[in-house]
């Protein structure tokens, strides 16, 4: 049964990778930049959840929406104050897009890590669990209650996002802006609002991933680094900007790491992603699901 | 093949920056006459180490527009090249130090060949992953690298003042190398690629080759700086390659002025000395620098050097207007 257990565990880890990677890939889709502070959205979510429920003594179930709100606020503020110059009336900035985005989001990441380090302290904390059940049987699998709840919530979030993007008015506007910002604005779509929505959604997903994993990861200021790196790898593998691609890549990476940690090497499990990344860049540079770049 | 000469404004701009760089380096050469405290000499030595990293990173990011997030990781690899050679093979430093430039350069060449075919943010993504994973591998390969305990590295000389001048010589060499690249056709191609990659390619510039050369030189500079630094610290550990160190390098270049020869020098000196002072105020240095990076990137894109230039130009204009 080991193989099945590994597979299921890998899928669960993959779900959380997907929560991170989907936000990153949506931001890339709509602004064509990479947010290097994405891991810190995750970290802020984990801290908000842990601090709210430990210090204020609020039930962890109520702390979850608060963590989501923190993520949304952070995403909104990032977009409003740091990203908007990229497209709102600063003609020459388009040329320097990558330069500005890398520097400013990397600076934001450093700022958040060091602020939390200074204000809350550098030591890892232990987040409270949502469920006390340590082992229960789901069919043939043994699983902790926490794992089951978080996995279910992660699935609900991803499904909710898919429905939102595909069917809601705002979601369709977001798709339009991702395809062609100028065209969308000519058609009367508020592109600034679409960007704002996407940054907030990406902040919510990352913050909830951090909050749901808080009992396992023990939040520390630099806890977002590896999840962020995983999601960069996933986003490239899935094809930059492709949401289904990033979900498939996330689940695959989760399963692969889960098997690799047992059959290859536990210490080096985090390196598998880089190996795959290099292989993908060598043989399928636009990712598994990505469109080939159309440059004019 | 014959390439057209520099357009004059580029050459004049570079010449002005070269004069200023020489002035900064000359000031650095005179400083030990006034400073005898070993502590402050040490601070200046470390800031020259960072100045080398900044120059290397600036060549790639500021002039070629390619963003690596691994300057500190390549310095760590350089340090480990020197350290491992001395630890396992008792290799003398005259072998170990040059290899500290060669090995990271070779790694950069391989990585660059793979990633730089693509434009866009791929280099930043890949180098960030590479940086953390290289650190993880060194950290976990305890049998070979002694993990987070680090490796002892032999020193070159014992005297701090002598070390200071060694670092200064290395820094001068770094500035010369960057200047050499900028003066060569490749340097102008790089700036063309930064400003318009498709345009440059359409005029026959071998975009991938130029970017790879810039990445290779940048990695080799960082690696050598790391090797030299590890002989000074007598220790190399995975701490050398943490992301915060890369952040410090980026802060130095952005604050000093990206895409200029003298900006990274001034930025590195100011930022590192300020960080030593802020350490006493309560370890807020990284918060301050991260804020400064955001503010400079958002509002003062030319950095301190650009601000100074603007002020000078305005004064000159006012003076000639009044006359």
A236:B133 CB<8 A: no
pLDDT band for A141, please (50, 70, 90 cuts): low
Cβ–Cβ < 8 Å for A211, A64 = yes
Where residue A295 falls among pLDDT bands split at 50, 70, 90?
Answer: very low
C-alpha to C-alpha distance for A229 and A240, rounded to whole angstroms: 14
The pLDDT of residue A89 = 55
pLDDT confidence of residue A267: 76
Between CA B78 and CA B230 the distance in angstroms is 9
Q: How confident is the model at residue B1, as a pLDDT?
A: 42
Residues with Cβ within 8 Å of residue A181, at least 6 apart in sequence: A30, A87, A191
Residues of A (189-228) whose Cβ lies below 8 Å from B: 222, 225-226
Q: What is the DSSP letter of B236?
A: E
Residue of B nearest to A226 (CA): B132
Please report which confidence band the pLDDT of residue B10 belongs to, taking 50, 70 and 90 as the band edges. Answer: low
For the record, the structure tokens of A105 come out as: 């989001």
Say if A13 falls within a structural domain. yes
Cβ within 8 Å of B, A 118-177: 118
Question: CA of B38, closest CA in chain A: separation in Å?
Answer: 29
B128 touches chain A (CB under 8 A): yes
* Closest C-alpha to A45, from A59, A33, A60: A60
Find, in chain A, the residue whose alpha carbon is nearest to that of B292: A107
Least reliable range by pLDDT among A1-10, A29-38, A169-178, A192-201: A1-10
State yes or no: pLDDT of A160 exceeds 90: yes
pLDDT, tens digit, for every residue of B261-312?
A: 888 999 999 888 888 888 877 778 888 888 888 888 888 877 888 888 888 8
The whole-model pTM stands at 0.87
In the stretch 255-274 of chain A, residues with CB closer than 8 A to chain B read: 267-268, 270-271, 273-274
Would the CB atoms of B290 and A110 count as touching at under 8 Å?
A: yes
Task: Give chain A positions within 8 Å (CB) of B137.
Answer: 268, 271
Instruction: Give the model's pLDDT for residue A197.
Output: 92
Tell me the pLDDT of chain B averaged across its residues: 85
pLDDT at A53: 87
Give every CB contact of residue B39 below 8 A, 6+ residues apart in sequence.
Answer: none
Q: Which residue among B67, B247, B289 places its CB closest to the CB of A98?
A: B67
- Asked if B291 reaches chain A (Cβ–Cβ under 8 Å), the answer is yes
Mean per-residue pLDDT, A59-64: 86
Per-residue model confidence (pLDDT) at position A156: 93
Of A89, A212, A195, whose CA–CA distance to A156 is shortest?
A212
Out of A34, A114, A285, whose CB is closest to B121?
A34
Interface probe with B: pick from A21, A77, A88, A98, most Cβ of B within 10 Å: A98
**Within a domain: residue A294?**
no
Q: By the 8 A CB rule, do A67 and A82 touch? A: no
Nearest residue of A to residue B68, measured between CA atoms: A102
Beta bridge partners of A137: A142
Question: pLDDT band at residue A294, thresholds of 50, 70 and 90?
Answer: very low
- Contact state of B114 with A95 under an 8 Å Cβ cutoff: no
Q: How far is it, in rounded angstroms, from Cα B68 to Cα B58?
A: 10
Q: In this model, does residue A92 exceed pLDDT 60?
A: no
A39, part of any domain? yes
CB contact at 8 A, A69 and A141: no
Return the pLDDT at A101.
Answer: 84
Residue B184: pLDDT over 80: yes
Q: Which pLDDT belongs to residue A8?
A: 86
DSSP annotation of A89 reads S
Instruction: Report yes or no on A185 lying in a domain.
Output: yes
Helical H segments across A218-242, by residue range: 225-238
Tell me how far the alpha carbon of residue B99 is from its chain's centroid. Answer: 18
Q: Say if A104 is an interface residue toward chain B (CB within 8 Å).
A: yes
Q: Is residue A32 part of a domain?
A: yes
Q: B134-163, pLDDT tens digit by residue?
A: 888 888 887 788 877 788 888 888 788 888
Q: What rounded mean pLDDT belongs to chain A?
A: 84
Check CB contact of B117 with chain A, cutoff 8 Å. yes
- Positive or negative, the CA dihedral B67, B72, B75, B81 is negative
Confidence label for A296 from pLDDT (cuts 50, 70 and 90): very low
The percentage of residues in chain A with a pLDDT greater than 70, rounded to a whole number, is 89
Distance, in angstroms, between B31 CA and closest chain A CA? 32
pLDDT > 90 in chain B, percent: 22
- pLDDT class for B323, splitting at 50, 70, 90? very low
Average pLDDT for B190-212: 86
- DSSP notation for B111-154: HHHHHTTS-STHHHHHHHHHHHHHHHHHHH-HHHH-GGG-EE--
Q: List the CATH number of the domain containing A254.
A: 1.10.3470
Contact status of A98 with chain B (Cβ, < 8 Å): yes
With H, G, I as helix, E, B as strand and everything else as coil, classify residue A137. strand
Buried/exposed code over B9-30 (b: 16+ C-beta within 10 A; e: otherwise):
eeeeebeebbebbeebbeebee
Under DSSP, the state recorded for A54 is: H
Indicate whether A94 pLDDT > 90: no
pLDDT at position A293: 45
Q: How many cross-chain Cβ pairs, A to B, lie less than 8 Å apart? A: 123
Query: How far apart are alpha carbons A15 and B276 in whole angstroms?
Result: 43
Question: Which candidate in B58, B60, B65, B136 is best for mutational testing of the A interface (most A CBs within 10 A)?
Answer: B136
- Rounded to whole angstroms, the Cα distance separating A257 from B168 reads 46
In a domain, residue A289? The reply is no
Residue A60 lies in a domain: yes
Residues of A within 8 A of B289 (CB-CB) are: 110
Q: Range of A27's domain? A: 2-283
pLDDT tens digit sequence for B85-132: 888 887 788 888 888 889 999 999 999 888 888 877 888 888 888 888
Taken in order of first residue, the domains within chain B and their CATH numbers are 8-322 (1.10.3470)
What is the model's pLDDT at position A97? 67
Asked whether residue A200 carries a pLDDT value surpassing 70, the answer given is yes
Spell out which residues of chain A touch residue B244, defining contact as CB-CB under 8 Å.
110, 113
In a domain, A295, yes or no: no
**What residues of chain A lie within 8 A of the CB of B301, using their CB?**
96, 100
How many structural domains comprise chain A? 1
Of B69, B115, B284, the CB nearest to A106: B69
């Amino acid at each position: 049964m080991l193989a099945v257990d590994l597979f299921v565990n890998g899928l669960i880890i993959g779900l959380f990778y997907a929560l991170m990677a989907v936000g990153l890939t949506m931001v890339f889709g709509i602004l064509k930049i990479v947010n290097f502070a994405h891991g810190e959205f995750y970290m802020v979510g984990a801290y908000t959840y842990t601090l709210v429920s430990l210090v204020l003594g609020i039930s962890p179930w109520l702390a979850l929406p608060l963590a989501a709100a923190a993520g949304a606020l952070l995403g909104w503020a990032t977009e409003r104050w740091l990203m908007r110059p990229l497209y709102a009336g600063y003609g020459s900035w388009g040329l320097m897009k990558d330069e500005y985005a890398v520097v400013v989001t990397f600076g934001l990441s450093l700022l958040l890590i060091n602020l939390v380090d200074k204000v809350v302290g550098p030591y890892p904390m232990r987040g409270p669990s949502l469920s006390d059940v340590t082992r229960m049987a789901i069919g043939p699998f043994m699983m902790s209650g926490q794992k089951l709840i978080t996995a279910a919530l992660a699935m609900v979030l991803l499904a909710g996002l898919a429905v939102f993007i595909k069917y809601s008015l705002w979601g369709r506007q977001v798709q339009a802006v991702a395809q062609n910002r100028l065209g969308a604005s000519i058609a009367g779509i508020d592109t600034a609002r679409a960007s704002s929505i996407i940054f907030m959604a990406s902040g919510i997903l990352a913050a909830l991933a951090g909050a749901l994993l808080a009992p396992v990861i023990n939040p520390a200021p630099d806890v977002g680094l590896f999840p962020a790196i995983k999601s960069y790898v996933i986003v490239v593998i899935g094809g930059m900007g492709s949401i289904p691609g990033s979900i498939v890549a996330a689940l695959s990476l989760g399963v692969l790491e889960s098997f690799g940690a047992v059959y290859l090497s536990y210490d080096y499990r985090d390196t598998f992603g880089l190996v795959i990344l290099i292989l993908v860049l060598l043989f399928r540079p636009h990712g598994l699901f990505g469109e080939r770049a159309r440059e004019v | 093949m014959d390439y057209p000469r520099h357009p004059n404004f580029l050459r004049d701009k570079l010449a002005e920056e070269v004069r200023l760089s020489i002035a900064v380096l000359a000031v650095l050469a005179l400083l030990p006459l006034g400073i005898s405290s070993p502590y402050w000499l040490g601070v200046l030595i470390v800031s020259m180490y960072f100045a080398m990293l900044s120059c290397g990173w600036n060549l790639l990011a500021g002039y070629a527009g390619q963003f690596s997030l691994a300057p500190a990781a390549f310095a760590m690899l350089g340090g480990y090249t020197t350290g491992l050679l001395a630890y396992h093979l008792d290799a003398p430093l005259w072998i170990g130090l040059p290899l500290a430039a060669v090995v990271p350069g070779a790694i950069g060449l391989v990585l660059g060949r793979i990633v730089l075919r693509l434009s866009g943010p791929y280099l930043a993504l890949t180098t960030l992953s590479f940086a953390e994973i290289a650190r993880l591998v060194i950290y976990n390969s305890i049998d070979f690298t002694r993990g987070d305990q680090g490796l002892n590295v032999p020193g070159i000389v014992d005297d701090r003042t002598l070390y200071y001048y060694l670092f200064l010589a290395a820094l001068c060499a770094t500035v010369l190398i960057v200047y050499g690249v900028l003066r060569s056709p490749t340097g102008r191609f790089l700036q063309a690629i930064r400003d318009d990659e498709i345009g440059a390619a359409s005029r026959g510039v071998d975009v991938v080759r130029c970017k790879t050369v810039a990445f290779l030189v940048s990695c080799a500079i960082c690696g050598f700086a790391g090797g030299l630094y590890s002989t000074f610290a007598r220790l190399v550990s995975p701490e050398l390659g943490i992301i915060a160190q890369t952040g410090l390098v980026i802060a130095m270049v952005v604050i000093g002025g990206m895409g200029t020869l003298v900006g990274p020098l001034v930025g590195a000196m100011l930022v590192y000395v300020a960080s030593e002072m802020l350490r006493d105020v309560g370890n807020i240095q990284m918060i301050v620098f991260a804020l400064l990076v955001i503010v400079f990137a958002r509002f003062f894109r030319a950095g301190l050097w650009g601000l100074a230039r603007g002020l000078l130009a305005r004064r000159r204009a006012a003076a000639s207007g009044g006359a």
